[in-house]
Amino acid sequence: MKGFSFSLVSPKSSPLCKGTVRTGSITKQLLTQLSPNQIVVLKHQDLDEVVAQELIDREVKAVLNCASTMTGSYPAQGPLLLLQHDIPIWEAEPGCFALFQDESTVSIYENIAVTEGSIIPLKAFSKKEWLTQFQLAQLCSGYMLESFIENTLYHAQLEKSFVIEPFPNLPLRTEMEGRHVLVVSRGGCYKRDLAAAKAYICDYSPVLIAVDGGADALLDLGYKPDLIIGDMDSVTDSALLGGSELVVHAYKDGYAPGWNRISKLGLEAHLLPCPGTSEDVALLMAFEKRSELIVAVGAHAHMIDFLEKGRKGMGSTLLVRMKIGAKLIDIKGLNLFYKTRL
């Protein structure tokens, strides 16, 4: 990052923003620990829309990002969303992250932050900066799409056995055969779309499968997930302890980053070694368990969705959707039907 400068601040100067710091190098984990009016210190390159909405929902006071908030590699909407909700963004050099301590107080002036005896250079990220990076991303859109397609096809070829070979037959207590299944992932507008599905859930009582942090969205609306699947990095302890059946998604070699967390909580879970994203695995599981219809909430389905997740392709997702076919529909289409009916 370039363009940093700072000057000493008179003791009589009033800070533009002052508050308690909350830090986290892994944003998904940090989001489960936030309280209102905190100043959040991140290391999150290309701030995505899902994270931005979570920060808005948790009513943070400001964001200090020790990474490039927007690189121009794709048209990220997250920074603009924060600024539109009057949440200011400042950027600091990556090496400054360690200077911020949890629960300490930080005072932010025009181009510096003062905390625990440290003076840290900052640069404000403005709507003008967002527009510049957005226009750069638009200019590169053709190359970006070509690269994404090539990556998708390459990994689809490598992972095709994922959908061809028999799916692991886990001894689940959650019965899906002949039923509708609602799969909730942390994708764009997932909370809003889930809230709009109230009539559908009331009519069909679908099996509720949460992918990681999707469990908390269900609980916030008064629904208990029947099953939670994922690497368990964006779901709260309270959701995991709520009595849902748990499936820990592991790499194909059996390594499961989320297994230690489940063990520490004293919980039982199924281990599912499988390539692809946890969302892909949840959809394929519902299909293999002979569900009648699979309804996706917050599903990742296009290039920007995956670039915001830090993925350069969607090989496994393409394969899963080839296999599931018409049995899968997106909640946005279903909500349109219910609005029309009502």
Q: Model-level pTM?
A: 0.80
Spatial distance between the Cα atoms of 218 and 136, rounded to a whole number of angstroms: 37
DSSP 13: P
| Greatest CA separation for the chain | 70
Structure confidence by residue, pLDDT tens digits, 104-142: 999 999 899 998 878 999 999 999 999 999 999 888 888
Structure confidence by residue, pLDDT tens digits, 77-111: 999 999 999 999 999 999 999 999 999 999 999 89
> End-to-end distance of the chain based on CA atoms, in angstroms?
51
Pairing of strands 62-65, 39-42: parallel
Residue pair 124/89 in contact (Cβ under 8 Å)? The answer is yes
- Residue 248: band (very low, low, confident or very high) from pLDDT cuts 50, 70, 90: very high
Q: What is the pLDDT of residue 1?
A: 54
Which tokens sit at 216?
Answer: 């908390």
Structure confidence by residue, pLDDT tens digits, 198-220: 989 999 999 999 999 999 999 99
Structure confidence by residue, pLDDT tens digits, 44-67: 999 999 899 999 999 999 999 999
Spatial distance between the Cα atoms of 259 and 275, rounded to a whole number of angstroms: 16
Which tokens sit at 211?
Answer: 């992918």
Spatial distance between the Cα atoms of 36 and 20, rounded to a whole number of angstroms: 10
Q: Which domains does the chain have, with CATH numbers?
A: 17-135 (3.20.19.10), 172-341 (3.40.50)
Q: Which residues pair with 119 in a beta bridge?
A: 114
Residue pair 17/62 in contact (Cβ under 8 Å)? The answer is yes
Average pLDDT over residues 181-206: 91
- Unique residue bearing structure tokens 């499961």: 256
